[in-house]
Structure 1
Amino acid sequence: MKFKAITGKQGSGTEVKDVTYVEAARWGKYRWWRYLLGLMIILFAWMIAANVASALVAFALDGQEGVAALGRLDYAAFSPVGGFVVVMAGFPVFLAGILIAVSLIHQRHPRTLVTAREKISWRRVGHGFVAGFVPWVLLGGLGQYLLYPDTFSFNSDLKTFALFVPIALILTAIQTTTEELFFRGYIVQGTSLIWSNRVFLALASAVIFTLPHATNPESQEGGWIGMFLNYFVGTGLLYVVVSLIDGTTELAIGAHFANNIAYFLLFNWSGSFFAAPALFSISEYHARFYDIISLVLIPVFLAIAYKVFKRDEDSEPVSQSDRVGRR
């Protein structure tokens, strides 16, 4: 299934029909060395510049002791909101690296990491949010409460929670969108120049997404089974598959934001890497429960995304400036 995004002539004179965001990898300037250079810029922004940004925020919050705490990955040394901000501070820099790579190195619009159409369908992003948020809250959150009620505690500090809500909404939107633009956008587009086979693209993206999440406390608690089911299958593979089916990363952007914001604002495990002053705190992480939930959520998510909601069939033409360019 593909979007009928444009029908027209590409720079080479060949007719372009049913274009997806994957084909946008060949718009603008796309020689292999450009993707290599773009990847280096993005990794520098993510691995180095982003850590500098977090260190600056840590210093602003708690001086040298804050920087030392960051070096120990001791986010509990900060206030609940402060620790969250320190962790998330690097994502705007990560995002900037992606935008620089696409805009300057490939000389095409960053929107092409999301869709081949003239405009992003925020309606479809909303579909992804609902399809991700509702089953996660009902099955993951309430399910654990019904099975393990003793692990739940209510956050009585509503003043801190009220302060945290707008901060969490903004920073989580940046975090999840950045990850989607990179893992489901840039990585998929770049690997498509090697081989456009959808199975290859899905597996490559899912593996690359799983690796940096392997050190998360949830992965350590769940072992390799939990890491495989939660990050590789339940998130990495699911999001790239729906992106390849839809021809855009819109569903994945909405679903990823829904998953994380529910975790940060509603049900947060106290031992999480992203510990947050959520409405409810979970004292014990039941890895096998979440392994099962990850598998159950997949068909539920797909049913809501493709049965309850319908894809947008109308499209708008993409400007020639986005498509025409030298390699």
Structure 2
Amino acid sequence: MYIEQAYKGSSDSWKFILGVFVVFGAWQFFGGIPLIIALIMSGATGTLATGDMGSMSEALGSNTFLFLMLLTFAIGLACLLLYVTFVHKQSVRSLTTSRRKIDWNRILYSFGLWAFISLALLFLDIWLAPEDYAFNFNLVPFLILTVISIIFIPIQTSMEEYFMRGYMMQGLGILTKNRWFPLVFTSLLFGMLHILNPEVEKLGYGILVFYIGTGFFLGILTLMDEGLELALGFHAANNLTAALLVTADWTAFQTDSVYRDISDPVLGWDVLVPVLVIFPLLLWFFSKKYKWSNWKERLTGRVLTRDEFLSQENS
């Protein structure tokens, strides 16, 4: 009963609606102030109007820009957890999972599994098409990148998971009293929030199929496993390996990574393979490992009322 964990705090509808605006505003406005100040001080104010991440990264240096960009998520996550704690009177544990305590083994297992798969797929692609990659390793910038990434990328991905699959999933479930609407809504919203990424400008709106599909995958993970742990681990591994291992001039993460993708990107079947093949296989694997059942009820079923939930909790 992951969605029903919201009943362990103050679950008034207006608090959820206000919370979305408060947290999103803090994330986007207050979180962006350090980046704006840095761009002004560097004389790169013109990049603010265009929103060109590549120009911002060039003006500030890739590591400085990455740090300031990730800092916005740290501020957003802090605001979210404070709002949940003091306004909803809800614990971080019940926002994270329906289990008696947060299952760190699940987080680490999901992280390790996807990091291994990501590494394998990357090096397979380098072996099959070495002309598409340039060795980009530079020790000092890479060490700085590693420190920034290890500390702040899990914070960035946790902010997205706690906000989308946590706070909004629980809030919409309580409001609509079903599970399918929060799954669909948060998955579509997760995809649409990536619409300003440079990948979309380079490849077209078709790339949103991948982002929306990823949103559905993470949402299904959360509802089937009754907690955020698997989604937290997967998302952190995905972004961390991307930041450290490979970068390109047309991606959101432009870093001093080990490799640079120098190919001319084309939107093709490789966008659909994760959504239609890899993610379903991962769901099947996790379902066997964690013995998931009753898929229809967990993904589309009714959310209990507060009285029903508390009655079950006390029985």
- Structure 2 residues not aligned, in runs of 5+: 293-309
Q: Does 1:152 align with 2:133?
A: yes
Q: Does 1:252 align with 2:252?
A: no
Secondary structure of 1:287 counterpart: coil
For the residues of structure 2 that align with 1:162 and 1:222, how far apart are their CA atoms?
31
Poorly superposed stretches of 4+, deviation over 3 Å: 56-59, 66-73, 309-312
Q: Does 1:288 align with 2:268?
A: yes
Matches within 5 A, 1:23-34: 23-34=4-15
Q: Which residue pairs with 1:92 in the alignment?
A: 74
Judge which range, 176-185 or 279-288, deviates more. 279-288
Q: CA offsets per residue over residues 20-70 of structure 1, 9 Å max, x none? A: 3211122211111111121121021122111113224546xxx24255545
Counterpart contact for 1:132–1:301, Cα < 8 Å: no
Judge which range, 44-53 or 128-137, deviates more. 128-137
AA aligned opposite 2:43: E
Q: Does 1:163 align with 2:141?
A: no
For the residues of structure 1 that align with 2:230 and 2:195, how far apart are their CA atoms?
24
Q: Which residue pairs with 2:25 in the alignment?
A: 44
Counterpart contact for 1:187–1:205, Cα < 8 Å: yes
Q: Which residue pairs with 1:14 in the alignment?
A: none
How many angstroms does 1:198 deviate by? 2.5
AA aligned opposite 1:267: V
Question: Normalization by structure 2: what TM-score?
Answer: 0.84
Matches within 5 A, 1:37-186: 37-58=18-39, 63-66=41-44, 68-70=46-48, 72=50, 73=52, 74-75=55-56, 76-139=58-121, 141-186=122-167
2:240 to 241, 252, 261: 261
Secondary structure of 2:89 counterpart: coil
For the residues of structure 2 that align with 1:188 and 1:265, how far apart are their CA atoms?
30
Judge which range, 288-297 or 124-133, deviates more. 288-297
Q: CA offsets per residue over residues 201-249 of structure 1, 9 Å max, x none? A: 2101101111110111222333232211x1001x100000010000001
Q: Which residue pairs with 1:271 in the alignment?
A: 250
Counterpart contact for 1:269–1:281, Cα < 8 Å: yes
How many angstroms does 1:196 deviate by? 3.4
For the residues of structure 2 that align with 1:227 and 1:215, how far apart are their CA atoms?
11
For the residues of structure 2 that align with 1:70 and 1:173, how far apart are their CA atoms?
26
AA aligned opposite 1:297: I
Q: CA offsets per residue over residues 67-98 of structure 1, 9 Å max, x none? A: 55455432221222112112212111111221
Judge which range, 160-169 or 257-266, deviates more. 160-169
CA, structure 1 residues 266+311, in 2 after alignment: closer, same or farther (shift >3 Å)? Answer: farther
Counterpart contact for 2:137–2:256, Cα < 8 Å: no
Q: CA offsets per residue over residues 101-127 of structure 1, 9 Å max, x none? A: 201110111222211233211100012
For the residues of structure 2 that align with 1:85 and 1:201, how far apart are their CA atoms?
32
For the residues of structure 1 that align with 2:20 and 2:279, how far apart are their CA atoms?
30
Q: CA offsets per residue over residues 269-316 of structure 1, 9 Å max, x none? A: 232122111111112334325313323321332244344x4479xxxx
For the residues of structure 1 that align with 2:234 and 2:29, how far apart are their CA atoms?
28
CA RMSD of aligned residues (A): 2.3
Q: Which residue pairs with 2:176 in the alignment?
A: 195
For the residues of structure 1 that align with 2:207 and 2:128, how far apart are their CA atoms?
19
How many angstroms does 1:138 deviate by? 2.0
Bigger relative CO (Cα 8 Å, ≥ 6 apart) = 1
For the residues of structure 1 that align with 2:170 and 2:229, how far apart are their CA atoms?
15
Q: Which residue pairs with 2:307 in the alignment?
A: none
For the residues of structure 2 that align with 1:200 and 1:180, how far apart are their CA atoms?
17
Question: Normalization by structure 1: what TM-score?
Answer: 0.81
Secondary structure of 1:153 counterpart: strand
Counterpart contact for 2:192–2:208, Cα < 8 Å: no
For the residues of structure 2 that align with 1:114 and 1:35, how far apart are their CA atoms?
16
AA aligned opposite 1:126: L
Q: Which residue pairs with 1:217 in the alignment?
A: 198
Structure with a larger share of its residues in helix: 2
